[in-house]
Amino acid sequence: MKEGWLDSKLRDQLHRLQKKFFGFGREKLKKKTRQVGHKQQKLNIHGKRSLADERTQEEQKNGVKTQGKSGLVKEHDFTEEELGEETQIRGLIVGEAPAWSKMKGLYQESTEITVTERVYQKVIHRQAKYRLNDEYNNTGKEVIITAPGPAKVKPGCKYSIDFAVAAVTDKFQYHTPLERQRRKMEEAGLEVGVKTLYRLTEAVAEHCNTIIPAIKKEIMDEFCAIHLDESPWRLFDNEKTGYMWVMSNRIGSYFQFEPTRSGAVPDEMLKGYQGAVVVDAYSGYNPLRKNPDIRVGHCWSHVRREFFERIDDFEEDCTGAVNLIDELFDIEAKAKDFDELKKLRLTESRPLTMVFRDWCFEARFKYLPEDGITKAINYTLNHWKELTLFTRDLSVPLSNNEAERSIRQPVMGRKNFNGSKTINGADTAASLYTIIETCKKSSIHPAEYIKYVVEERWYKRFPLTPRQYGIQIKGLKPNDEIKWPDKSDWEI
């Protein structure tokens, strides 16, 4: 519908908002089934997990962790009364010998999935005490020693590590607010306050903070470009909105809360980094262009969205632009290794970007400066150097979808519990999101790893990163589906 009373600028804004808030969320063209960006929203080569997934294909598909190979087995048998009923039904006259004989090793089997509700138990730990016998005691005092007790989140804590880890993962992995957790515990017969639950999550985050610098270093040392993004994160105490920033690649995701959206934040996060970054067109990333050690790339999914959201008003040209961009993603999807990707970018992607640029120059003169499609074209040409970095830099993927997927975890949390009460609470959230999202990329269950970190810290040992834990403790192997170039071998 064309709103004749609106000028072109307002109509453009209205139609883009309608697409954003009332669309179906899948940016696909009519008669086409594939989504924006890579097929099935994957990052292809650049997005491969750093470690091979330990779960079976069935577990990955169904999300079910089975008990052993066959699961839990329950036997079902007839009672004497039930066997008697079966005899009567058949009108049999039974003598001294039984009418029925059980067939050994023969069963009718069926499978079902059930659920066991979480149970809270009070566990009393009794630590044995030993007294030094008098014949060996030369101190003149009674010497008594106590057997070691269980590891704790912190000394004197009455809640187990498992309890604390469950509170952490329920909130930061599954987006369940602490108040909702408290109500569920109350229904199960346990009374615990929200403040207590928060103090437990804070204590767990303090343990995790020791390993986060190492995770950040692993991300920065990886061949693949670093992706950056940010999202609002509300603070209740001062009624202000800060920002949850993320830097990520296939190795892990590092989150950092800051009360500002200033360009100084990404500059500080990437201090000492040498390599490529992929960002959107937000001006806060402009300071990175002044850093001689950093190569800045932009996201083609954002360009595609600029044209896609204006298809209703400029159907022919916007559809043509989207189709050209989709061809770039299709070319990327064909590569099975980095040698093949380099050839494809030289022989197919680079010529196609030139075709797209020529089209932009020609199409721009067909429309008025205030038309929506003109804005999409200008957006493309204004960031052309950054958009075409991928044709010169092998470490750069075509989109910033990696960062957008990583930032989705805090976004989903924000929808459920709105943000944090204080800056300290926001920092706690950033630390735990870092651990949880990095574990996923190392094929490690977050709860298992967080418990390991707390126990290692309790016994005065320095924990491994999720990637190191996967290799050294779980025995996982690095993902060797493809050969990874050296960090310095990025030029095409």
pLDDT by residue (tens digit) across 241-295? 999 999 999 999 999 999 999 999 999 999 999 999 999 999 999 999 999 999 9
- Give bridge partners of residue 246 from the DSSP assignment: 229, 255
Q: Is 247 left (phi over 0), alpha (psi -120 to 50) or beta?
A: beta
CB distance 276 to 389 below 8 Å: yes
Token pair for 51: 């470690």
Half-sphere exposure of 44 (CA within 13 A, CB side): 21
Residues 40, 442: Cα–Cα separation, whole Å? 20
CB distance 181 to 171 below 8 Å: yes
Q: Which of helix, strand or coil describes residue 410?
A: helix
Residue 105's pLDDT is 85
> What residues contact residue 289 under an 8 Å CB cut-off, 6+ apart?
296
CB distance 332 to 341 below 8 Å: yes
Residues 256, 279: Cα–Cα separation, whole Å? 16
* Cβ neighbours of 149 (radius 10 Å): 9
Residue 50's pLDDT is 74
Angle 243-245-248 from CA coordinates, rounded to 5°: 165
Token pair for 368: 């008025």
Residue range 319-365, pLDDT digits in tens: 999 999 999 999 999 999 999 999 999 999 999 999 999 999 999 98
Q: Which of helix, strand or coil describes residue 146?
A: strand
Residues 483, 480: Cα–Cα separation, whole Å? 7
Residues 422, 53: Cα–Cα separation, whole Å? 37
At residue 153, φ and ψ (nearest 5 deg) are: -65, -40
Residue 261's pLDDT is 94
Residue 58's pLDDT is 47
At residue 140, φ and ψ (nearest 5 deg) are: 80, 0
Residues 290, 69: Cα–Cα separation, whole Å? 56
> What residues contact residue 228 under an 8 Å CB cut-off, 6+ apart?
245, 246, 247, 266, 269, 277, 278, 279, 285, 400, 403
CA 220, chain centre distance (Å):
18
> What residues contact residue 71 under an 8 Å CB cut-off, 6+ apart?
111
Give exposure, 443-477, as e/b (b: 16+ Cβ within 10 Å): bbbbbebbbbbbbbbbeeeebbbbbebbbeebebe
Mean pLDDT (10-residue bins), the chain, 492 residues: 56 63 58 45 67 55 48 88 90 86 88 85 92 88 92 95 97 96 94 96 97 97 95 88 95 96 94 95 92 96 94 92 96 93 96 96 91 94 96 95 92 92 95 97 95 97 96 87 88 92
Residue 239's pLDDT is 80
CA 348, chain centre distance (Å):
32
Sign of CA dihedral 17, 18, 21, 25: negative
Q: Which of helix, strand or coil describes residue 153?
A: coil
> What residues contact residue 364 under an 8 Å CB cut-off, 6+ apart?
374, 377, 378, 381
At residue 58, φ and ψ (nearest 5 deg) are: -65, -40
Token pair for 406: 């990583």
CB distance 476 to 56 below 8 Å: no
pTM, two decimal places: 0.84
CB distance 472 to 211 below 8 Å: no
Average pLDDT, whole number, for the chain?
88
- Give bridge partners of residue 478 from the DSSP assignment: 51
Angle 97-101-107 from CA coordinates, rounded to 5°: 170
Cβ burial, residue 8 (10 Å; 0-12/13-18/19+): middle
Question: For the chain, how big is the Rg over CA atoms in Å?
Answer: 30
